[in-house]
Chains A and B, each alone.
Chain A
């Protein structure tokens, strides 16, 4: 099976492990991530500039390419996924937005026909956790994992529709399939401080510090994330609990981690 893949800028620099192991694990599961040839930045945060059209156009082009190939558009980065999904939703539901976007689309209109899917959803809904389980060679042997969602994967929940925003289970169930033990972790959907780290590192350190402390308090060995910005903030807060991408953990369990 082939899917259209949108990596996003960070996955080619700071978050290479997210990208590399994403590819390898998909291959192990019989899925090929077909990277869009000329992808551009997703546009960054959707909500801070929801009335700005220009920054959404690269997302629209990616969506259009996936639609033309009749494949789901898969991404790994929480932020990219959030922008792609929200842009697609705006095109589907907001007539003015759609018209304004299509003014820029020289080679044909886009009307929201693509299906946007996060890699985690691909694992859960298309491949299935049973199939994931079959590929496990190094079971995690009860490793205690704090599944950290942050905000972008889950909210706005009516648009993202990935999981229950108050008590998500998609990563927990993945960890269970890999033989790990997801811990109960009330800070799993708290904000890490996000882009405030550009301006006020102390503030993000407090926000992220609480998350790391709570994970440690509840007995976690590692924190699992899908978001490069969350990982950055959590690692800079002064706590020493390891923060890893879910694709790294997947690769570890599949025995393909280098």
Chain B
């Protein structure tokens, strides 16, 4: 029989206001096995923990039940407390009487009754608990970063500078991501390329970093410290180790009309291309959808002009197997498609552009060499209308836009408006907004400069529609402060499209068993206290894959993710979770049901000798669990038809005892 101590926490008034903690500790004192029951204002405080330690010594406790907040908050705290007083940490159970009781009830009688039931349930379980010891597993001292934008670049550099090897997998032919497409960066207006490309070069030259460009993660197996990852290196039909990046092929290729994705389709490139001058790696790539040689075997110009003999039309996709200790997701974002926003005439007029397109127009390396001209006729625009929140903060149009604020648009729109007025003082610039949101260091000063010094017309209100008439765009909008409808004949309209996670994020999340929210942003382990870790151990989050972010925030978070990775890789061994499945070999009939449902590949089968009747030896096929691989999900215990499979710490017997205690 266990000697159980019950400790009921008030959590200040969080619990005590809705649950009669004294009544709970008295009621639970009468439960079988309980030899001590107390309550205290903050059980997690030093004084509270001392109370538990003292009680363990005084009453010779063998099991502990803490009625407090969610085990996600303080299970580790109380396990350590118990361990320091000489009790196995797995003899501690938490009854969650805060999130699952006091916070959701209003009536103290109901709350108290439920708290007693929850406490009784935990006691029933502790009565059947057994001490468990965690095993250890080694750590592969190498990290994988998925995505080579500024987030992935910064994370990789920080990890590599700490002395660990890092691989970056980037699906595009070059690293650099969205930041490489930007012109200037707010609030200091330094040129994006000037601050990004040195970092790209650092990545390329770092001896600890490998770049797998034009590659995707194809499969992930294993667990924290020991991930087995398959990387698919897509055929680029150019030998990376031989190509010098001279670019001759990209000038001679006869297929000239390929939409240039780097300039968002506003100009064209060849079928063999290098995305931009500072690309890393600076290696050409053949676009198989357009290359005549690959499509019908008639051409071969690039191969003929290549002095380095780097062209290889026979190249195939290759699969690379690598081992990693930690994985960082840095898959980034994209602006949403404008196809559902016909009211802004995006598909009707070339002069209606998204902000990212405008960024390319303003960029000296862009389709117009940085000259602000209308895409339709190349004329200089005089009246420009910026529309903010296109698809952002769409509370009632979830099928069309996003409910959240995209966060970066207010600032980049202020930047665009300011730069336009600065370079072209003959322009009239209007910005339509719901709210102007500029929290951030030197952000509000920046926006005010746009409005006050540069004379940008900020109008509170939304644009209802844009109507192309002749060579003008008739913009109809509301001015909420003047309470009137306004009509502007504009030359260009710029839409601040909402941003969303990259489409690849969902499949990557599935491979990593990392959780996402309803918008497909990766969820963090704790929104405030563990913002760069996924709830899945060994998976870390960097940049906009976790939520909309600007560059300063992305870089800060990228560094934070790197610090977490370094902390993990610095360890030689990781303590595992002892709550793993184990099979009772005497009951196992070797049916393979458990092996089939195991998502981690932790179960294998062995032929084992058993003693049969009359001194005979029987050989039977039985399941064996690799405790280092098992994650304790419990799928096998449900699938096992003979009841041979059980989960340590969550045995069927324990669960049933809990259910009985609830139903008592």
Which residues of A are interface residues toward B (Cβ below 8 A)?
157-158, 164, 166-167, 184, 186-187, 214, 217
Contacts and interface: CB of A to CB of B under 8 A. Distances in A.
Contacts of B347: 184
Chain B interface residue count: which class? 10 to 19
A186 B466 contact: yes
B467 interface: yes
Given A157-B396, A158-B396, A166 B343 contact: yes
B367 to A, nearest CB: 25
Contacts of B314: none
A167 B467 contact: no
Contact of B343 (A157, A158, A186, A214): A186
A217 B343 CA distance: 16
B465 to A, nearest CB: 5
A186 B400 contact: no
Nearest to A190: B465
Contact of B467 (A158, A164, A186): A186
17 contacts: A157-B396, A164-B397, A164-B399, A164-B400, A166-B341, A166-B465, A167-B342, A167-B400, A184-B342, A184-B347, A186-B343, A186-B345, A186-B465, A186-B468, A187-B467, A214-B467, A217-B469
Interface string B200-224: 0000000000000000000000000
Nearest to B470: A217
Interface string B391-416: 00000110110000000000000000
B464 A166 contact: yes
Interface of B: 340-343, 345, 347-348, 396-397, 399-400, 464-469
Contacts of A167: 340-343, 400
A157 B396 CA distance: 9
Contacts of A187: 467
A187 B397 CA distance: 21
Q: Which 8 A-B pairs have the closest CB atoms?
A: A186-B467, A166-B343, A167-B342, A167-B343, A184-B348, A186-B465, A164-B400, A184-B342
Contacts of A186: 343, 345, 348, 465-468
A166 B468 CA distance: 16
A158 B466 CA distance: 23
B348 A164 contact: no
A192 to B, nearest CB: 16
Nearest to B399: A164
Nearest to A161: B396
Contacts of B467: 186-187, 214
A167 B337 CA distance: 14
A42 to B, nearest CB: 26
Nearest to A210: B467
A157 B465 CA distance: 17
Nearest to B401: A164
Nearest to B468: A186
B461 to A, nearest CB: 14
Nearest to A157: B396
A172 B467 CA distance: 18
A182 B95 CA distance: 62
Given A166-B465, A186-B466, 18 more contacts: A158-B396, A164-B397, A164-B400, A166-B341, A166-B343, A167-B341, A167-B342, A167-B400, A184-B342, A184-B348, A186-B343, A186-B345, A186-B465, A186-B467, A186-B468, A187-B467, A214-B467, A217-B469
A166 B454 CA distance: 32
A125 to B, nearest CB: 14
Given A157-B396, A184-B345, A184-B347, A164 B469 contact: no
A166 B465 CA distance: 8
A247 B468 CA distance: 30
A170 B346 CA distance: 20
Contacts of B396: 157-158
Contacts of A166: 341, 343, 464-465
A214 B347 CA distance: 17
Most buried by A among B400, B465, B466: B465
Contacts of B340: 164, 167
Most buried by A among B345, B467, B468: B467
Contacts of A217: 469
A164 B401 CA distance: 11
Nearest to B347: A184
A123 to B, nearest CB: 19
Contacts of B399: 164
Nearest to B465: A186
